[in-house]
Structure 1
């Protein structure tokens, strides 16, 4: 809303900005941190499932419509779902995980190979994007966008997580601690992949991923000292 009213950004760029401010690295960082801190990876599972099953598919549908890759309306949305490999993969993963369907190994082998290459490929693409650029460059015209996304990601997001965990749901101390830690996790790197795919908000996504990762680590230590 702030970016729309004050910065006059397009709808597609607003969606990428919203993802930059909200989607956390729940898999690559959330699961290891949950295991290391509390010895239980299940704390990060609800966040991971929410992002894969709801947040990411809805965001991709919005981006498909906003960039006019599909037409607005029910048919356009259904076409976007049926032709977007990221949405189909997320839905297939959720279905297999919840139903316990056994996939033949001959089918799983190439999928596992592609899955193993996903994170290195994302890191390589992200590293290439950093060559010849610096975060918060004034001439990019997106410094305010990045600072706004960082504020929501590293301050507002953890505060909302604490409020929900401590006041609304009244979790125990371990639950509150992990809710805050998961809230302060840096922006997921696949947000930059999404921004690149749609050619929208790439500077905002790139800088937010980088800076939230650099700033998120000391913030986690601060949260640990307060809530642990």
Structure 2
């Protein structure tokens, strides 16, 4: 339980730093954009390279991976249907941000400490982390690039842009290093580690600036949209993961891990993508903010139920 609170408290402090800096006018809207660009083009690729080369690949190909992927796809499908019925289609970029906000979990800077302190092993979050980095992110980045250029997505264009995107390149480079057992010399690895260490703070400070400079979260005409996505993320997604996990024969700690992972809030990465592609910035910001708070009691309840009834 302590791990859950520690993970959320760490994020809250860094976001608060961004809020205070914006409130004191040390940083402004341009700083938010520049920090997001820094995270997107430099720090995040370096972080993904570092994470991927250190992630135990033998923990990936499992029912955990299948459950995480299926839960993501089903939640995205539900969001698309609900969004088309309630808020019309919108642009492709808007739908991409909305669907990612509903199903892309914070498996990195929040999932890792929670996996360590709540699940007892970081390896439990590895399948979801790799699934998002190697499958979901490259596909979405290619679609974002097509939308930004006003082009209709095609398989050829998507594949071409998929491997020109810095986020995808960082993840793929890290995977290749891990697969082939490449040992980077210290003078190469050290700068990459330092650049990667900037990713999460940059995203969180930019997020804090947005909270101070932008409209109050989850208010006005977009409130219904925000709360619908939060419900999909924090309630429907772990419920789907539970059902799929049971159907695949997961029990005990393995089932507990996929449900807790699915209940994690929306990742801060989505805000970075929204700023980079100028699509639904406030929506992404609001969903991340609300889902982060909403997921705390959800994860605590899940932990209590599994400890009480499943003996985990």
Per the TM superposition, whether the score is higher than 0.5 is: yes
Please list the CA deviations of residues 55-92 of structure 1 after superposition, one character each: whole Å capped at 9, or x if unmatched.
Answer: 11111111111222666434432442243111111111
Please list the CA deviations of residues 32-65 of structure 1 after superposition, one character each: whole Å capped at 9, or x if unmatched.
Answer: 1222123211110000000000111111111111
8 A Cα contact 1:4 1:10, kept in partner: no
The structural deviation recorded for 1:95 is 1.7
Matching residue of 1:171: 250
8 A Cα contact 1:142 1:203, kept in partner: no
Superposition pairs for residues 73-112 of structure 1, below 5 Å?
73-112=154-193
Bigger drift between 141-150 and 208-217 goes to: 141-150
User: Of the candidates 199, 205, 226, which is equivalent to residue 278 of structure 2?
Assistant: 199
- TM-score scaled to structure 1, two decimals? 0.92
- The CA RMSD over aligned residues, in Å, is 1.6
1:58 aligns with 2:168: no
Matching residue of 1:157: 237
Matching residue of 1:11: 92
Higher relative contact order by CA 8 Å / sep ≥ 6: 1 or 2? 2
8 A Cα contact 1:17 1:145, kept in partner: no
8 A Cα contact 1:122 1:190, kept in partner: yes
Please list the CA deviations of residues 173-224 of structure 1 after superposition, one character each: whole Å capped at 9, or x if unmatched.
Answer: 1111111111110111011001110000111110110011111111111111
Superposition pairs for residues 16-35 of structure 1, below 5 Å?
16-35=97-116
Matching residue of 2:219: 137
User: Of the candidates 292, 296, 301, which is equivalent to residue 217 of structure 1?
Assistant: 296
8 A Cα contact 2:139 2:162, kept in partner: no
Matching residue of 1:182: 261
1:147 aligns with 2:227: yes
Change (3 A) 1:171 1:82: closer
2:153 and 2:260 map into 1 onto residues whose CA distance is 38
User: Of the candidates 48, 52, 57, which is equivalent to residue 129 of structure 2?
Assistant: 48
Matching residue of 2:202: 121
Structure 1 segments, 4+ long, off by >6 Å, are none
2:212 and 2:267 map into 1 onto residues whose CA distance is 20
Matching residue of 1:227: 306
1:175 and 1:75 map into 2 onto residues whose CA distance is 38
8 A Cα contact 1:34 1:44, kept in partner: yes
1:125 and 1:136 map into 2 onto residues whose CA distance is 18
8 A Cα contact 1:70 1:77, kept in partner: no
Please list the CA deviations of residues 102-149 of structure 1 after superposition, one character each: whole Å capped at 9, or x if unmatched.
Answer: 1222222221111011111111111100014311120xx422221221
- TM-score scaled to structure 2, two decimals? 0.68
